[in-house]
Amino acid sequence: MIHPTAIVADGARLGADVRIGPYSIVGSNVTLGDRVELVSHAVVEGNTTIGPGTRIFPFASIGHEPQDLKFHGENSRLEIGANCTIRESVTINPGTENGGMVTRIGNNCLIMANAHVAHDAILGNNVIMANYVGVAGHVQVGDNVIFGGTCVIHQFTRIGAHAFIGAQSMVDGDVIPYGMAVGNRATLTGLNLIGLKRRGFEREAIHRLRAAYRQIFASEGTLRERVEDAAEIFSQDALVQDVVRFIADAQDRPILLPRNGHETE
């Protein structure tokens, strides 16, 4: 169903049972999957693909050119997955030539009102962004990450899977998988134990992860040495190996550390 006041440009591709509400605008290079709904006053432009079942609420601006002075009109993309909820006044920009040409958001994400996802950011599945969260360019976010309200994430930062970012945090370093970061500037404050338990991780696996965390962020030796030791001691543990690989792959931003080098939960 397309409301009479909506504008759908020639060339736009619409799946089955798409609903485009009052005063919404859909650009000519947009693809809307089955059952996508633009509630009202939403604008979807650019080379944008939106997966089935996603709902976009009023005054969201999806797919307009990036807020990047290095952008010169290149044919970059924005890809949004299935069954996402994008609330009022959210802004999401496509990629740039300097960042891989694509911004990508996974399936089943909830992006609350007034949040922003910048160019070339990659978000995994089941990500929750509370109100006024700002994700800068080139940020990578793993699956099942939760952001509290008014967080700001520095460009090129990585947030590992199952991490939790506390409200009003300014994050300028990589957050390990399963970690919890809070503060301005944010520090690592422990593991996201509540999230791990809610998602059904086994008690023994959580205990091993806590033991590895204490070893990795102890005060003796260098971080590299402690990570190598943890990799060897917990060589058969999948969760610990996730953390080890994440730290080993650090490139653009430093790994976020506990303020005093120890777990504070």
Positions annotated as catalytic residues are 119-120, 137
Q: 102 pairs with which residues across the strands? A: 77
Which is nearest to 192 in space by CA: 171, 159, 164, 214?
Answer: 164
User: Which residues, including other chains, have CB under 8 Å from residue 202's CB and lie 6 or more apart?
Assistant: none
Asked whether 51 and 35 are in contact (CB, 8 A), the reply is: no
Tokens of 162: 């199952």
At residue 242, what is the residue type?
D
71, 177, 220, 248 from 158: Cα distances, Å: 22, 10, 26, 13
